[in-house]
Amino acid sequence: MREESLKEILQKFWKMRKPVSAMLEVTTRCNLKCQFCYVSEREKKEKDLPLGKIFRIIDQLAEAGCLEILLLGGEPFIRKDFPEIYKYLSRKGMFIHIYSNGTLLNRKILKTIKAYPFHYLRISLYGAKPQTYKHLSGNPRAYNMAIRGIKFAKEEGINLGLYTVLNKINQQDASRMKKIARQFGLGIYLQKHLTAKSDGSVKHYKLSIVKRPKRYLCHGCLFIDHTGKLTSCPVLRSSYYDLNCFSFESAWRERRDKKLKIKCPVH
């Protein structure tokens, strides 16, 4: 009998409305200031959850049957206690998916990740030269830092892939970014739409290369932000359950029973 892939298992459980995959935003802080980032300035000013509360949320997710955790930022590795979060998660037996800009990666953190085989690291590549990174993130050094992080990750044998958000500034680098991915023996996903900011602002849409706005309908995500709020989407944060006051089980059950459908504002 053919073994089911993780994707097939997740899809099956989603149809059953079980919380098998969750996005956990461990911070909104970042060492870059990308113009197209969906995290608003308001969220960036709020304090991150302390380690103990993150552990309690992880415990509740594991007890509810969660199979996959996506660790998001901001930049997750900006947290000095990230290795502790990662090690705690790994002991729960979940598949760990990490989203990072790659600029803060070093051998020590990569060895921590490598020690747990059920992981995937997605590194964002925002351009193919320092000038592009300067225009988008304000930091011309970020390009070389990201390339160094990718190189280190490959040398450590980390499971990884590349990702980029195409826009009017970096679209001229698209073919070169594909070439960089091939040189590392990696695939790269090119996203062509921009997502609205978490406060609803769409001013950054001027960077979009997509002419017509589109609205995608989904059943909502399982997203827990950096303050412990369970929401339907990392962008639409106005309606939430505060896990500092509610248990995850009760919040998920109530949210699930509402059978939410979300129209996501993207361009």
pLDDT score at 213:
53
pLDDT score at 222:
87
pLDDT score at 219:
55
Class of domain 6-266: alpha beta
Give every residue of the chain whose pLDDT is below 70, as ranges. 1-17, 211-220, 258-267
Query: Full-prediction pTM beyond 0.85?
Result: yes
pLDDT score at 9:
63
CA 168 to chain centre: 22
pLDDT score at 264:
59
Angle, alpha carbons 49-36-54 (nearest 5°): 15
Q: Are 224 and 57 in contact (CB under 8 A)?
A: yes
As a whole number of angstroms, the longest Cα–Cα distance in the chain is 52
Quick one: DSSP state of residue 2? P
Among 11, 4, 23, residue whose Cα is nearest residue 229:
23
The bridge status of strand 223-224 relative to strand 229-231 is antiparallel
pLDDT score at 203:
84
109 pairs with which residues across the strands?
Answer: none
Q: Are 72 and 24 in contact (CB under 8 A)?
A: yes
pLDDT score at 1:
38
Q: How many Å apart are CA 67 and CA 47, to the nearest integer?
A: 27
| Residues 57-89 pLDDT 10s | 999 999 988 889 999 999 999 999 999 999 999
